Amino acid sequence: MVEIRLTDTLTRGKVDLAPIDPTDVRMYLCGPTVYDRAHLGNARPVVVFDVLYRLLRYVYGADHVSYVRNFTDVDDKINARAAAIGRPIREITDETIGWYHADMDALGALRPSLRGEVTPAAEPRATDYIAQMIAMIQELIADRHAYVAEGHVLFDVRSFPAYGRLSGRSVDDMIAGARVEVAPFKRDSMDFVLWKPSDATTPGWESPWGRGRPGWHIECSAMASALLGDSFDIHAGGIDLQFPHHENELAQSRCAYPDADFARIWLHNEMLQVEGKKMSKSLGNFFTVRDLLDQGVAGAVIRYVFLMTHYRKPMDWTADKVREGRRTLADYAAQTRTVAPADQIAPGLIEALADDLNTSEYLRLLKEFSKTGRYRDLKAGLEFIGLSRTDTGSAILDEPDMPDDVRNARRDYARVRAAVWHDIAGDHPPDPVQPGDESVAAYQAAICQLVRDAARHLGVQERVISSFDTDSTLTRQLALAADQADIPGLIDQRRRARQDKDYALADALRVKIAELGIELRDTAAGTVWRGVQD
């Protein structure tokens, strides 16, 4: 059995993972508040802890791992959004959840599951757990860890002596440094809201304290306990959530279930920066995952860039890294295209991940496999960590929430693009089909256009090109194009010239072929050609 070591925020050191129940290893990750597209910073924990999820599934078996990631779908930001754009809350949250799935799928993140079963239950919505939250709050009040004041229910931080331990703060220090105005009904300025009243225009649920809605922190506590039990193995999230969110979760849950641990191990990933600066709207370096995908940065490249840096170090997003990731993955794709993955994942790879998710070491090993010709190990390693590509080079970009026939058309488009245009992983032209206007016909037209462009590139006569239409098969059109340009004939001519040592002619032919957008390589197995990008 592989020993997994992780850095636990609570004890501030590396600990061995010793699952409470090895037949059901349980992990919770705080998910998004659903009111807008996920930005790049939101994606880092998802990718990082997806790697841990994959490791756990490998070590304990996929059916022996439960991974829960919630959706916060009740929140004042959502309310504000709904009011601002005049749309129903449920519509906004549903739409945002769809986006989130599409974007995280594109990054190769596996869907959460309960004992290996991918189910909506593994991605709970806060609004489906209001009853559990109310029950938990009642428990806290009964045990004098919470009190009611002016329609609010507040958690009494002084009732939990360990409050502040997770984030390394003392209540007294925080009060001394506090700059916030304290609501008059709080007993202690650090007390936080478990339940707050709603007015007629705000979403609310009936409760013993009147119509109201939950505070943010109680949501995660209630959902984690309901789905993973009062004690579970791992609680993960961004370091920005360490305080107050996780501190408060921990306090509530420990007080509500005094005999349980809540999470045994707390994991936190460090923050993302962009070109050395904090990502913010005011600096103009704020962008979403979807923005990057639309710009042609493949999900696999984004994932690769994330994994270059250890999860507990601040990570800088730069154009240079994107270039490096793109090139590396392109090399790997070429090397692994025709080989089968190794039956067993190389032990060194697992050891690297088991040592506190050393993804940097993992990628170093992949590079070593690539250099030493261990392509089957390379392929298995790429697949294991979610960096493999299908032969279309873009399956990772497929949107799972579109109709099947449209998705197929889109996949065809990607396949054609990869075949006739260029062969560079992670690189694709902007989608010619506008979002919202996606249809089978639109993609067929785009495919036809692509083939025409490619044929023109190969020097095919316009008369022939104009006969291309969306009904012809791609194979026929390409054969026609290749015939017209007679690439094989030119290559053969050049081969004979080289045999005759007529290098002047050979070079002239190379130039002629290059003008058609074709690059030649003389290899041991003969001359091969491929299209090059302008």
List binders of RNA among 226-245 (CB under 7 A): 238-244
Q: Whose Cβ is closer to RNA: residue 142's or residue 532's?
A: 532
Q: Is 216 in the site for RNA (CB under 7 A)?
A: yes
Answer for which of 1, 179, 259, 473 binds RNA (CB under 7 A) is: 179
E-state strands within 9-156: 13-16, 25-29, 65-69, 146-149, 152-155
Positions 407 through 446 that interact with RNA (CB under 7 A): none
Q: What is the side-by-side strand order in the sheet with 262-269?
A: 65-69, 25-29, 231-238, 262-269
174 near RNA, judged by CB under 7 A: yes
Pick the piece of the chain touching RNA (CB under 7 A) from 177-185, 227-235, 428-436, 446-454.
177-185
Residue 318 as a binder of RNA (CB under 7 A): the answer is yes
Among 308, 445, 478, 516, interactor with RNA by CB under 7 A:
308
Nearest to 153 by CA among 103, 70, 81, 215: 215
The least distance separating RNA from the CB of residue 368, rounded to whole angstroms, comes to 7
**What is the dihedral angle through the alpha carbons of 86, 88, 90, 96, rounded to the nearest 10 degrees?**
-20
**466 lies in the site for RNA, by CB under 7 A:** no
Strands (E), 284-421: 315-317
Residue 515 tokens read as: 């003008």
What's the closest the beta carbon of residue 497 comes to RNA, in angstroms? 8
Which of 325, 326, 299 has its CA nearest to residue 50?
A: 299
By residue count, the chain amounts to 534
Q: Which two tokens stand for residue 448?
A: 């036809």
The amino acid that residue 438 corresponds to is E
Min dist CB 5 to RNA, Å, is: 10
C-alpha span between 281 and 284 (Å, rounded): 5
Site string for RNA, 366-405 (x = CB under 7 A): -xx--x----------------------------------
Strand partners, 379: none
Q: Which of 96, 113 has the CB closer to RNA?
A: 96
What are the strands, taking DSSP E only, across 49-184? 65-69, 146-149, 152-155
Q: Alpha-carbon distance 310 to 326, whole Å? A: 19
Among residues 109 and 455, whose Cβ is nearest to RNA? 109
What minimum distance in Å lies between the beta carbon of 428 and RNA? 22
Rounded to the nearest whole angstrom, what is the least distance from the CB of residue 421 to RNA in the complex?
A: 19
Chain centroid, CA 414 distance in Å: 21
Residue 66 β-bridge partners: 26
Torsion of CA 324, 326, 332, 336, to 10 degrees: 180
Which span (48-56, 142-150, 302-310, 480-488) binds RNA, by CB under 7 A? 302-310
Smaller CB separation from RNA, 358 or 444: 358
Q: State which of residues 88, 184, 259, 281 lies at the interface with RNA (CB under 7 A).
A: 281
Rounded (5°) CA angle 192-34-277: 80
Say whether residue 1 binds RNA (CB under 7 A).
no
Please check whether residue 268 is in contact with residue 62, taking contact to mean a CB–CB distance below 8 angstroms: no
Q: Which two tokens stand for residue 436?
A: 């919202």
The minimum distance between CB 324 and RNA, in angstroms, equals: 6
Q: Does 248 bind RNA (CB under 7 A)?
A: no
Q: Measured from the CB of residue 273, what is the shortest distance to RNA in angstroms? A: 6
**In which residue are the tokens 């709904």 written?**
82
As a dihedral over the C-alpha atoms of residue 84, residue 87, residue 90, residue 96, rounded to 10 degrees, the angle is -70
Please identify, using beta-carbon distances, which residue of 276 and 284 lies nearer to RNA: 276
Q: What is the per-residue binding string for RNA in 321-360, x denoting contact by CB under 7 A? A: x--x---x-----------------------------x-x
Q: Are 264 and 231 in contact (CB under 8 A)?
A: yes
Nearest C-alpha neighbor of 122 from the set 170, 192, 65: 65
Q: Which is nearer to RNA, 405 or 515 (CB)?
A: 515
Residue 188 contacts RNA per CB under 7 A: no
The window from 95-103, 147-155, 202-210, 320-328 that contacts RNA (CB under 7 A) reads 320-328
Q: Which is nearer to RNA, 307 or 451 (CB)?
A: 307
* Residues between 15 and 54 that touch RNA (CB under 7 A): 32-33, 36, 39-42, 44
Which of 79, 93, 167, 198 binds RNA (CB under 7 A)? It is: 167
Binding mask 488-527 for RNA (x = CB under 7 A): ----------x----x--xx--x---------xxxx----
Q: Which is nearer to RNA, 153 or 451 (CB)?
A: 153
| Interatomic CA distance for residues 351 and 2, integer angstroms | 8
CA dist 290 and 287 (Å) reads 8
Q: What pairing do the DSSP bridges indicate for beta strands 5-8 and 13-16? A: antiparallel
Closest separation between CB of residue 385 and RNA, Å? 16
Regarding 193 and contact with RNA (CB under 7 A), the answer is: yes
